[in-house]
Chain A
Amino acid sequence: MAVEYIYPDYEIVRDYDRCIVCRVCERQCANEAHEYLSDKNKMVADNAKCVNCHRCVSLCPTRALKIVKSDHTFKENANWTGKSIKEIYKQAGSGGVLLSSMGNPENYPVYFDKILLNASQVTNPSIDPLREPMETRVYLGAKPERIERDEKGRLINNLKPQLKLSMPVMFSAMSYGSISYNAHESLARAATELGILYNTGEGGLHEDFYKYGKNTIVQVASGRFGVHKKYLESSAAIEIKMGQGAKPGIGGHLPGTKVGEDISKTRMIPVGTDAISPAPHHDIYSIEDLRQLVYSLKEATGYTKPVIVKIAAVHNVALIASGIARSGADIIAIDGFRGGTGAAPTRIRDHVGIPIELALASVDQRLRDEGIRNNVSIVVAGSIRSSADVVKAVALGADAVYIGTAALIALGCHLCRSCHTGKCNWGIATQREDLVKRLNPNLGYKRLVNLMNAWKHEIKEMMGGMGINSIESLKGNRLMLRGVGLNEKELQILGIKHAGE
């Protein structure tokens, strides 16, 4: 194009004193940002192609590269930011919907960062987790309402199927298709080793991964991709996906270019066809309809496994959750507006949904008020970034959390948010064979195991500090939380006091 409206966002800075022209940057960049000039024996770069994924920076053996934000600027304007202007240029050029990946990056409040944890001093002893037992195990599923006995007074086991987790963290739904085979294998193997669960997402389950079934949650989404009897039976639990935090109210779209032989088989659709998940489930227009699907799935699997219903955190989430808790579902998963995605329309991702902290607090409170909290376990997702977020979420009322983005970061993701291009340089969000092989699951699963073990240590330390030796005693224990810089309304919704109170 004769007129280039957009100046590159990033600049690739090369220290020519350190560059040994090994060309690893050139070989490893799927965006072809680096080029070797053979006549000059010199590397050069095209900033416009850089997505700031740090693959070249991480592999450069002499640390000759860095990526900096361009200081090229528009005339300063607090209203018309450079971002707004560039987006208009893009749309004026393409006529299309803007696409984005990963979670909402905009400057909305992060309530986890405005909540502080308690610790014991003097009057109540803290616990040293290295010296005393500390329990992080949780069970997810509906809990019995009452003790039942038979005519001889013996206890009747009326416990519905439960999921046992060694710690209150699971890997959230990411489909085979949105992420690579090797990423899936890493998640499955890590979940198995850790005694937690991972989630297939809506893309079906590759036949190689049935052996990890005991640690697998299989998803039934609006497209019903890859759903069949063996799929349901092989799992530990079944999740009905009603919504996703990154794109509440809309469906999914895996472009046909990504639907190769393997994915076509797994999703049960022809090679090269677009995999379109409709926005709604076309058979669910009410809680009663949802109940039918919940019980269809339970019937199909002989009432042996819990059914999860996953929804996006939206304005009336507490009411919806109340309905779900009465639908026969065993677990409600709520995905906040920061949740990740392989591709979503930018406007949806950045402007729809509500923060998970507020959604969690209001759902937990509502279910308690209605006396149905024990009908379901609550799992929350949507940007759980650290063990501190896990502890705060549990204290706000969650039984467990899902992590997606954090798990991908452990696998090498640098949050360049270019998943939708399908050219992930880290072998995660791509189906290109040469890129997929960059993620070696033998190394990847260990990094996930390390991350989770590190978090488990930290969770124990924080619990110990509060004088709590079991995650069950922390659950819904909002007295352990205090807000900082929050207004009355926010504190009221979160159900916590302000620091100093």
Chain B
Amino acid sequence: MKRVYVNEKWCLGCHLCEYYCAFASTNEKDMARALKDIRIHPRIRIEEKDGISFAVSCRHCDEPLCVKGCITGALTRKDGIITIDRNRCIGCYTCILSCPFGAVSPSEDGAIQKCELCIKTAGGTPKCVEGCPNGAIVFEERGE
């Protein structure tokens, strides 16, 4: 299955992936209109310290602790992609506590949010991958 992989060797810490991610979940055509004067809540985050930086988003684990811990069945794994049913999520945040990568976060409306590889929004290649200026985020098949 194709996954998002990150190579910190090429990550510049420019944070553009976060903005492309936030843009992907809006229905706007124009990024300026979509993100002007708002605080973004991206599903991918840059971690940086001492000159090293890299992006972190959902790994779509084979044995996902978030799905195991979800008490309402809002998180499901289908075809290897872990998705969230926002109507079922009650905001108990068990998934946030159990994700070892810190890749699940609260959204603005109480339900949780996480990377869904842009299958619901952009379709095809995840926007963080398309928007990375230095090829530090790739979307590829690497074998299980």
Contacts of B51 in A (CB 8 A): 433-434
Q: Are B31 and A62 in contact (CB under 8 A)?
A: yes
Number of CB contacts from chain A to chain B under 8 A: 57
Q: Are B15 and A438 in contact (CB under 8 A)?
A: no
Cα of A22 to Cα of B21 in the assembled complex, Å: 13
Taking a contact as CB atoms closer than 8 A, the residue among B12, B23, B32 that contacts A28 in the complex is B12
| Residues from 98 to 132 in B contacting A, C-beta threshold 8 Å | 131
Contacts of B6 in A (CB 8 A): none
A-side binding surface: helix, strand, loop or mixed?
loop
Cα of A19 to Cα of B36 in the assembled complex, Å: 7
The interface size of chain A toward B, counting residues with CB under 8 Å, comes to 21
Q: Are B135 and A62 in contact (CB under 8 A)?
A: no
B25 to A: closest C-beta gap in Å: 15
| Residues from 10 to 25 in A contacting B, C-beta threshold 8 Å | 17-20, 22-24
Q: Are A20 and B134 in contact (CB under 8 A)?
A: no
Taking a contact as CB atoms closer than 8 A, the residue among A19, A20, A27 that contacts B14 in the complex is A27
Q: Are B31 and A61 in contact (CB under 8 A)?
A: yes
Q: Does A442 reach chain B (CB closer than 8 Å)?
A: yes
Cα of A129 to Cα of B133 in the assembled complex, Å: 36
Contacts of A484 in B (CB 8 A): none
Taken residue by residue from 30 to 57, chain B's Cβ proximity to chain A (1 for < 8 Å, 0 otherwise) reads as 1110011000000000000001000000
B15 to A: closest C-beta gap in Å: 7
A432 to B: closest C-beta gap in Å: 11
Q: Are B16 and A438 in contact (CB under 8 A)?
A: no
Q: Are B32 and A443 in contact (CB under 8 A)?
A: no
Q: Does B64 reach chain A (CB closer than 8 Å)?
A: no
Q: Does A284 reach chain B (CB closer than 8 Å)?
A: no
Contacts of A62 in B (CB 8 A): 30-32, 35
Q: Are A440 and B135 in contact (CB under 8 A)?
A: yes
Q: Are A61 and B19 in contact (CB under 8 A)?
A: yes
Q: Does B9 reach chain A (CB closer than 8 Å)?
A: yes
Cα of A19 to Cα of B32 in the assembled complex, Å: 7
> Which 8 residue pairs across A and B have the least CB separation, nearest first?
A18-B32, A62-B32, A20-B35, A22-B19, A440-B10, A440-B135, A62-B31, A440-B134
Given contacts A24-B14, A64-B32, 11 further A-B contacts (CB under 8 A): A17-B36, A20-B32, A22-B15, A22-B18, A23-B15, A28-B14, A58-B133, A437-B10, A437-B134, A438-B12, A443-B134
Between-chain CB contacts (< 8 Å), 10 pairs = A20-B19, A20-B31, A20-B35, A22-B19, A59-B16, A61-B23, A437-B9, A437-B12, A440-B135, A440-B136
